[in-house]
Structure 1
Amino acid sequence: MTKEMTSFVYVTYILSTPEKVFEAITKPDVARCYWGHENVSDWKPGSKWEHVRANDERTVELVGKVIEVSPPTRLVITWANASQASDPASYSRVTFAIEEYDNMVRLTVTHDELEAGSGMAKGIKQGWPAVLSSLKSFLETGSGIDLFAKPKSA
């Protein structure tokens, strides 16, 4: 029996350039500023990448491989929890499509090959909007948002 798969797509418009958006995703020192993590790789097809918590512990939380890279317009990676790295079925795919729009960028993040109902599928539906909002804020204002903020009680 095959597993039911799902995908998640998020589109945002950022007052920036494709080069700065691509750099924000791929440069560890920039990603740290809005994500609280560093994306570490040499960004060559076939290379591994790691999503490392930007704190004293430097925990590797996510892992994957670089599938496709065309700076500054496209990046495709595989994505899995580090704890599931040895299970090929646990990997999903993330595509960053960066398109110039006059004086801004349309960033489309497509996270697919996700098992429907899985913890990863649920987590990214909350995670991507927060991370990409922080990316937008960081590139437009110089400050990311608090990714660990909680809703205020009524």
Structure 2
Amino acid sequence: MTKETTSFVYVTYIRSTPDKVFAAITKPEIARRYWGHENVSDWKPGSKWEHVRANEERTVQIVGKVIEVSPPTRLVITWANPSQASDPSASSRVTFEIEEYEDMVRLTVTHDELAAGSAMANGIKKGWPVVLASLKSLLETGQGLDVFAKPKSA
């Protein structure tokens, strides 16, 4: 029996260049400024990558492998909780497509192969929009958003 999967696609336009967007995703010192995490890898196909919380504890939050890398236009990685890293069926896939669009960039993030109804699928629906809004803000204004902010109670 095959598991039911779902996907999440987010498209945003950023007044920047493909090189700067790609660097923001792959360079730890930039990612920590808008994501609160660092994406750590040598970014070669087959290499592992880690999503490390940029605080004193430096906990690894997500792990995966680099599937495809074509700077500055495309990056494909697998995505899993560290506790499930040894189970390939527990991994999902994230594709970053970066396209020049006049004087800006169209960034399309597709997170697919997610187990339908899973905590991961539900979490990324909330996570990706704020992370990508923060990336856009950082590249356009020099300051990211607080991705850990919580809604004010009514």
Instruction: Please report how far the alpha carbon of residue 83 of structure 1 lies from its aligned counterpart in structure 2 after TM superposition.
Output: 1.6
Cα-to-partner distance string for 1:14-73 (whole Å, 9 max, x where unaligned)? 000000000000000000000000000000000000000111111011000000000000
Aligned counterpart, 1:140: 140
**2:146 corresponds to which letter in structure 1?**
D
SS of equivalent residue, structure 2 residue 80: strand
CA apart distance, 1:102: 0.9
1:112 matches 2:115: no
Paired position in structure 2 for 1:63:
63
Q: Secondary structure at the match of 1:22?
A: helix
The one-letter amino acid of 1:126's match is: K
Structure 2 match to 1:123 = 123
Distance of 1:86 and 1:123 partners within structure 2:
21
3-state SS, counterpart of residue 114 of structure 2: strand
Alpha-carbon distance in structure 1 between the residues aligned to 2:152 and 2:29? 31
TM-aligned CA deviation for residue 151 of structure 1: 1.5
Alignment deviations for residues 88-127 of structure 1 (CA, whole Å, 9 cap, x no partner) = 1110000000000111000000000001000100000000
Amino acid at match of 1:114: L
Q: TM-score, normalised by structure 1?
A: 0.98
Written as runs of structure 1 = structure 2, the 5 A alignment for 1:60-99 is 60-99=60-99
| TM-fit CA distance, 1:86 | 1.5
Partner Cα separation in structure 2 for residue 114 and residue 152 of structure 1: 30
Query: 1:105 is paired with a residue of what secondary structure?
Result: strand
Counterpart Cα distance in 2 of 1:49 and 1:102? 32
Moved more, 80-89 or 43-52: 80-89
Unmatched runs of 5 consecutive residues or more in structure 1: none
What is the match of residue 24 of structure 1? Answer: 24
What secondary structure is seen at the aligned counterpart in 2 of 1:109?
A: strand
- Moved beyond 4 Å, runs of 4+: none
Residues in 2 aligned to 1:123 and 1:147: alpha-carbon distance in whole angstroms: 13
Distance in 2 of aligned mates of 1:83 and 1:130: 25
1:153 Cα deviation after fit: 2.2
Matches of 1:150 and 1:32 in 2, distance apart? 19
Which stretch shifts more, 83-92 or 60-69?
A: 83-92
Instruction: Report sequence identity in percent.
Output: 82
What amino acid maps onto 2:120 in structure 1? M
2:5 maps to: 5
